[in-house]
Amino acid sequence: MPTTAKLLATMALWGGTFVAGRQLAGVVPPFAAAFWRFAIASVLLLALLRSSERRWPALTGLQALAMLLLALTGVFGYNAFFFTGLQHIPAGRAALIVTLNPVGIAVLSALVGAEPLRPVRVLGVLVAVAGAAIVITQGRISSIGTEVGPGELALLGCVGCWAAYSVLGKRAMKDLSPLASVAYAAAVGALLLAPFGIAQGALTCASSYGAAAWISLLFLAVGGTVLGFLWYYQAIRDVGTVRAGVFISFVPVFGVLLGFLILREPLTPALLAGGPLVIAGAWIVNRSPRPPDNPRA
């Protein structure tokens, strides 16, 4: 599958996680849901890794540290900041802040010397984020306001975690395949989430979740994690963190579309106005020449 197709499919799957999350709301507590998502995904990923590479690759000390950092940032840290932020601010405002992920990835990549932050890329990222902002705020961007509280700071922590996860992932894949990197990070992340998920009844209350909740959890594990994370890491390996990261701005667009198709939420003029901006921003970033990899990175 071409890299662009993988990225679009990944963003569609991640957009679907918003629908699955809505189905779980009020049924499965946040950390319990996160634990089951990554527990199921890690089992599937480790089995796929064993089947694909006929072994579980041994890790050096540095590689084990890299997997721990990936799990802390992309799995545990991201979920902890996300659910904390949602306790303080509405979901729409939270989603707007999370769409700053491409900006965080581009800035962090530039800071560590992995990929230069060229003017055309800055323009593309800003256009994509502007389109996502229009979609999420229903065109009322002025309603965002300027006050920054604990919820906003927590969601900015999400942006930092995902930027670190993306940049660290590119380096981890110098010695490990995308599948191995994702599988080990998901397994370690599940272990880190386990105490918090168990405290919220992940084991004792699992039988009471119901079929709809388990279908949502399976989608989050298989679609949002196994396929989504694997394809995203493969794209990072092929086109770099900045080019792959800008596609994250497609997530709210797919989220609204899937909400319309599955939950029958109405389409709005904001989607029709913001969607093309997201696509234009991704096109601007991807048409810029890719710089050679920095061997010192």
In a domain, 22, yes or no: yes
Indicate whether 207 belongs to any domain: yes
For residue 238, is pLDDT > 80?
Answer: yes
Measured in whole angstroms, how far is the alpha carbon of residue 93 from the centre of its chain? 17
Decide if 96 contacts 159 (C-beta within 8 A). Answer: no
Residue keyed to tokens 């509280």: 149
297 part of a folded domain:
no
Is 70 exceeded by the pLDDT of residue 246? yes
Please report whether residue 295 resides in a domain.
no
Give Cα 284 to chain centroid, integer Å: 21
pLDDT value at position 106? 77
Alpha-carbon Rg of the chain, whole angstroms? 18
What is the model's pLDDT at position 291? 46
How many CB atoms are closer than 10 A to CB 24?
A: 21
Residue 18: give the domain boundaries.
3-287
Residues counted in the chain: 297
Answer yes or no: are the C-beta atoms of 67 and 172 closer than 8 Å.
yes
* Residue 251 backbone phi and psi in degrees, to 5: -55, -50
Q: What is the pLDDT of residue 105?
A: 78
State the Cα–Cα distance between residues 121 and 223, nearest whole angstrom: 29
Answer yes or no: is 296 within a domain.
Answer: no
pTM over cut 0.85 = no
Q: Say if residue 290's pLDDT is above 60.
A: no
Q: Is 196 helix (H, G, I), strand (E, B) or coil?
A: helix
User: Tell me, what's the pLDDT at 207?
Assistant: 92
Q: Does any domain span residue 173?
A: yes
Indicate the DSSP class of residue 281: H
| Among 51, 78, 47, 37, residue whose Cα is nearest residue 169 | 78
Domain count, the chain: 1
Higher pLDDT, 170 or 168: 168
Quick one: pLDDT at residue 295?
34
Is 11 domain-assigned?
yes
- Here the tokens at position 129 are 């984020």
Element (H, E) at 237: helix 228-239
- Is there a contact between 75 and 67 (Cβ–Cβ < 8 Å)? no
Q: How far apart are CA 193 and CA 159, in angstroms?
A: 19
The packing angle between helices 3-24 and 228-239, to 10°, is: 150
Q: In percent, how much of the chain has pLDDT > 70? A: 87
Distance CA 252, CA 131 (A): 10
Q: Cα(234)–Cα(108) distance, rounded to whole angstroms?
A: 19
Tokens of 215: 């279908």
Residue 180 resides in a domain: yes
CA 110/CA 127 separation, integer angstroms: 19
pLDDT confidence tier of residue 71, bands split at 50, 70 and 90? very high
- C-beta atoms surrounding 168 within 10 Å: 22
Helix 119-136 crosses helix 91-98 at what angle (to 10 degrees)? Answer: 170
To the nearest 10°, report the CA torsion of 259, 260, 262, 264. 110
pLDDT at position 187 is 94
Structure tokens at 160: 């930092």
DSSP character string of 119-133: HHHHHHHHHHHHHHH
The string of pLDDT tens digits covering residues 17-37 is 878 887 887 788 889 988 999
Q: Which two tokens stand for residue 150?
A: 């604990």
pLDDT at 293: 41
